[in-house]
Amino acid sequence: MHAYPKFNLCYHSLTSLIEPIYMKAFAVLIKAFLILLLLCTGFFFTEISTYVKSYVSPKIQLENTCHLSTQTCQQGDVSITLEKDTLTPLQPSSILVNWPNRNAKNLIITLQGYDMAMGNPTFKLLPNKDKSYSGDILLPICTQNTMIWIGTISDGNTSINVSLKAEQ
């Protein structure tokens, strides 16, 4: 009957020695996991932020856009004309935007692929003397033969939804 208390005493003294070792090892594992998580988050931050922005930002509906082509597209008092009906990747195409009653230093065109993620190419349009803005659009190359791009033209306060077609 006295053997059990000695064993019990020995068991408790062993566990009291081992428990701090397990706790330290567990704390080290938690710290290592958090450091690894932090490194992965930093490494993939741009991809994560782009993914989150694409789901947080409102989607532009294709039918609610001004389709850009050689025929002037009119939205309110703004008219937009492209040099070509269909753009070719890696070949610049000029764009002319009549933006009356505005005093913006420039206009910004921001595009994104409608059916395929291709980044967000951004273009700056500079003012002309007649309250119009002009510049060039140079789209990246795509694996698809035909691609629809949607986006906005903005002066920082007002935005117009636009779309255009590109073919290789």
Residue 57 lies in a domain: no
Verify that 162 and 110 share a domain, yes or no: yes
- For residues 101 and 70, membership in a common domain is answered with yes
Measure the CA–CA gap between 168 and 154, rounded to whole angstroms.
27
**What pLDDT sits at residue 93?**
92
Classify residue 55: in a domain, yes or no. no
Radius of gyration of the chain (CA): 30
Do 139 and 70 share a structural domain? yes
Residue at 28 is within a domain: yes
- The per-residue DSSP string of 83-132 comes to S-SEE-TTS-EEEEEE-TT---S-EEEEEEESSS-----EEEEEE-TTSE
Question: Quick one: pLDDT at residue 96?
Answer: 94
132 with 78, same domain? Answer: yes
Q: Are the C-beta atoms of residues 147 and 118 closer than 8 Å to each other?
A: yes
Residues 37, 66 share a domain: no
Task: Quick: pLDDT tens for 33-54.
Answer: 999 998 888 888 888 777 776 6
Whether 17 and 82 map to the same domain: the answer is no
Q: Are residues 33 and 77 in the same domain?
A: no
Hey, which residues does 136 pair with through a beta bridge?
94
Q: Are 159 and 142 in contact (CB under 8 A)?
A: no
Report if residue 86 sits inside a domain.
Answer: yes
Whether residues 82 and 38 share a domain: the answer is no
> pTM for this one?
0.63
Task: Give the Cα separation of 55 and 46 in Å (integer).
Answer: 14
| E strand intervals along the chain | 66-67, 73-75, 78-82, 86-87, 93-98, 107-113, 122-127, 132-137, 146-154, 159-167
β-pair type (93-98, 73-75)? unpaired
Average model confidence (pLDDT) for the chain? 82
Residues 92 and 37 in one domain: no
76 and 155 part of one domain:
yes
Q: Based on the domain organization, do 75 and 155 belong to the same domain? A: yes
CATH number at residue 116: 2.60.40.1930
Its domain, for residue 77, covers 62-167
Specify whether the CB–CB gap between 131 and 99 falls below 8 A. Answer: yes
73 backbone dihedrals φ, ψ, rounded to 5°: -100, 130
**Spatial CA neighbour of 112 closest among 101, 103, 104, 122:** 122
Cα dihedral 134, 76, 151, 104 sign: positive
Q: Is residue 17 in a domain?
A: yes
Whether 37 is covered by a domain: the verdict is: yes
Do 146 and 75 reside in the same domain of the chain?
A: yes
Tens digit of each residue's pLDDT (9 = 90 or more) over 2-35: 555 555 555 556 566 667 777 788 888 989 999 9
